[in-house]
Amino acid sequence: MPRWEPGARDRLVVAAVDLFTEQGYDATTVAQIAERAGVTKSTFFRHFPDKRELLVAGQQTLCRLLTEGIAEAPAGATPLAAVAAGLQRASTLMGPHNRELGPRLKAAVAASTELQERDALKSVGLASAIRDALLARGVPDPVAQLAGELGVLAFKRGYATWSEGDCDGEELAVHALAALDELHAASAALD
């Protein structure tokens, strides 16, 4: 097995999602993931502390892109317009590989309580990053908190539509922004 081959991290994620889908999360070992990815077990542990963390590969980058987009929104932007700018920026990270992986990842998460818990923590982290970026813009805490939660919901809904639907040629941003608009409109029905 090659020791340092490019793309090992991405191959590990794909291998894990495939194995989680084929045989279940609990039945999949780190050794199996490493073997399927064509790397050693020690290479796996250079990239991830455990197999559960494969689910959140890229979360730091996603948080960074969301917060950069929010920070770069025009000064007079509403909190939701700033969130939209963050979603637009974060969507640039997602390409055909992410789109193809989405339904398999969703199935793997749905089949494992442990992965569902990790996915929930990922959502909390994303919402917190959005809230913090909005607080830095001077948005009051309750508004920033709510906008952060709406941003995560919009991202998840948009990603589901994009990855599971017939959206060839469309970018994730189109669906994430449409989901944000839908959620914003739905919030008016709460009164």
Instruction: Please give the Cα distance from 40 to 188 (Å, whole number).
Output: 53
In a shared domain, residues 81 and 12: no
Q: Is the pLDDT of residue 159 over 60?
A: yes
In a shared domain, residues 17 and 103: no
Selection from 153, 159, 164 nearest residue 175 by Cα: 159
Number of domains in the chain: 2
Q: What is the pLDDT of residues 32-56, one digit of tens each?
A: 999 999 999 999 999 999 888 887 7
Domain that holds residue 23: 8-54
In a shared domain, residues 34 and 109: no
Would the pTM count as exceeding 0.75?
yes
Q: What is the pLDDT of residues 53-81, one digit of tens each?
A: 887 777 888 899 999 999 999 999 999 99
92 assigned to some structural domain: yes
In a shared domain, residues 44 and 68: no
45 assigned to some structural domain: yes
Q: Is the pLDDT of residue 2 over 50?
A: no
In a shared domain, residues 111 and 134: yes
